[in-house]
Amino acid sequence: MAKTAADTAGKAFETMSSTANEAFKKSYERSVELMGEMTDFNKKNMEAMAESSRITTKGIEEISSRAASYSRDAFEKGVEAARSFSGAQSVQEAMELQANYTKSAFEAYLEQVNAMSGMFATVFREASAPLNSQAGEFVSMMQKSA
């Protein structure tokens, strides 16, 4: 009877050890797999950041170029308007020239603001796309792991 109890205990211990060893082995293998996935994911994060930075830089260059062009044109039109004011034959004519200049300058400004707003929105949308993609990948990876 003692031998049977010892055999039963030995088999139970062996089964428990085998099961624990198998669980540890599976856990270790999954951990190694997850480390590989995280390394790949981090590489893709860096690539997404680089792409986002490239898009942002290009967009800011285009916006800056447009702003400089607008500023140059506005200055030239202002100088031209000042010359026309000085050549006015009457106060009434000067007032009309001033009103026309102010109206055209304001319209040009509004056009510029609208164009720049569109450009900023486009740059933001395009620059966030690679980062949004990676955020989606992260969510998918976390759902797969759970």
Instruction: Kindly list the domain boundaries of the chain, sorted by start residue.
Output: 45-146
Give pTM, 2 decimals. Answer: 0.70
4: tokens are 């049977």
Q: For 34-57, what is each residue's pLDDT tens digit?
A: 888 889 999 999 999 999 999 999
Helices and strands, counts by H and E, the chain = 2, 0
Question: With left for phi above 0 and alpha for psi between -120 and 50, is residue 88 left, alpha or beta?
Answer: beta
What per-residue confidence (pLDDT) applies to 25? 86
